[in-house]
Structure 1
C-alpha cells in the first residue's frame, strides 16, 4: 500500500469526553406551541475530549422536547480544536438526533471540507455512548 492510500484508510479513534450544556435565554420561538406541548430550546455546548481526540469542542444545539415521555429531537453544530492521533487542527461535527419513546437515533458526522491544519480532508462518523455516567466515543474516519 502506498502512502496516499494509507492516508485514506479507515481509522478509529476512541476515548472519553466531558460535556457541559449551557441553556440560553428563551426567545419567542422557544415557547411551547399552544396545543402541541412541544418546547423548543437552545444551548451552548462545551466539551473536553481525552484519548485519541485531545482538545475542546464548542457548539450550539437546538432542541425540541415533546410532552410524550422519552420523545425529543436535536440538531447541533460543534467545532473541535485539538489533535486527532497526534495531528493538529480543527473540524466541525454536525449532529442530528431523535428519541421516540426512548428509542434513540443519532447521527454525528464531520462537515465536508471543514478540516484545517493537519486535519484538512478529514471525513468521518462519530458514535457515543454513556456508561455509568461516563461519555465514551468511537470516531471512524479517513484523512
Structure 2
C-alpha cells in the first residue's frame, strides 16, 4: 500500500554540542555537526505528528552535508491509529540529494499500526512543500 502526505515543521531546536566527550575533545571538520530535535505535523493519507532526533553535518560554505534521523510518529494511516518509528538519511553536494535511506523501524508499531513495515521517501517541491511518502504493509 502507498500513502502520500505533506508535513510542516513546527519546532526545530538545536542542542548545544559538548566541547568534549569523556576525555576526548570534539573533532572539528569542515562540516559542522550537531543534534537537533524537531516536531512535525502530517496531513494527507498519513495524518498526525512526530518528534524527530536529527543529526547532521553541513559545510556552511558549500552547502554539502549529510543527515540521519530517527522519527517517532503518532498518526492515523488507512483508518488505523497508533505509533511507529522511521529512520531516514540522505546526503547533498549542495544542489542535490543522494544516498537516501528511509525505512519503517521493524517491530516499532503500536495500537492498530502494530505489525507495520515498509519504506519511503521525503521529497521537497521547488516551492518548499515537504512530502512524506510511504510504501507499507501490515503483518497478517
Normalised to the residue count of structure 1, the TM-score between the two structures is 0.82
Is structure 2 residue 118 aligned with structure 1 residue 124?
yes
Write out the 4+ residue segments of structure 1 that deviate beyond 3 Å after TM superposition.
29-32
Deviations 1:33-53 (A, max 9, x none): 1xx322111100100001111
Quote the offset at 1:137 in angstroms: 2.4
Deviations 1:13-64 (A, max 9, x none): 012110132211222269661xx32211110010000111111110211111
**Counterpart in the other structure of 1:25:** 16
Task: Give the length in aligned residue pairs.
Answer: 131
**Counterpart in the other structure of 2:133:** 138
Q: Which among 85, 89, 96 is matched to residue 103 of structure 1?
A: 96
Normalised to the residue count of structure 2, the TM-score between the two structures is 0.84
Contact 2:5 / 2:47 at 8 angstroms: preserved in 1? no
Helix, strand or coil for the counterpart of 1:103? coil
> Which sections of structure 1, spanning at least 5 residues, go unmatched?
1-10
Contact 1:32 / 1:39 at 8 angstroms: preserved in 2? no
